[in-house]
Amino acid sequence: MTDGEPKVFIENLYLELQEIKERLEEVLGKISAAFLGKPHSTEGKIHEVKVPVTYDRPLMEVSQQTVRLVERQVILEALRRSDKHHGKAAKILGITSRTLYNKMKEYGITE
């Protein structure tokens, strides 16, 4: 692997994460419209997730951290779209209320 390859790989990974973020926003909008009767809008997009770019940590570690950052933002967005109603937020996410509670505890979300 040449010196520039890790940087190119991480830049490509970032672009893929941006596409995933956009798709999640679209899906969350449609799901919240279907379950909550709220019109789909482009407002309230998922907040930008800052992924620390580093070349000295294993890729798996960076990937796991990125997944955790994105998962936390998705949970916060589902709570926002459900007016902080945990049961509705869990339904939007396709998980049980118990799983949502555990994830909120794991990520320090107190809403």
- Torsion, Cα 54 57 63 67, to 10 degrees, reads -80
- Determine the pLDDT at residue 2: 59
- Determine the pLDDT at residue 87: 94
* pTM of the predicted model as reported, rounded to 2 decimal places: 0.56
Q: Is 66 exposed, middle or buried (0-12, 13-18, 19+ CB in 10 A)?
A: middle
- Determine the pLDDT at residue 47: 54
User: Which pLDDT tens digits describe the chain residue by residue (111 residues)?
Assistant: 555 666 777 777 777 777 777 777 777 676 666 655 555 454 555 555 555 555 566 767 777 777 888 888 889 988 988 999 999 999 888 899 999 999 999 999 997
Q: How far apart are CA 89 and CA 103, in angstroms?
A: 12
- Determine the pLDDT at residue 102: 94
Q: What is the DSSP string of the chain?
A: --TTHHHHHHHHHHHHHHHHHHHHHHHHHHHHHHHH-PPP-S-SPPPPPPPPP-SSS-HHHHHHHHHHHHHHHHHHHHHHHTTT-HHHHHHHHTS-HHHHHHHHHHHT---
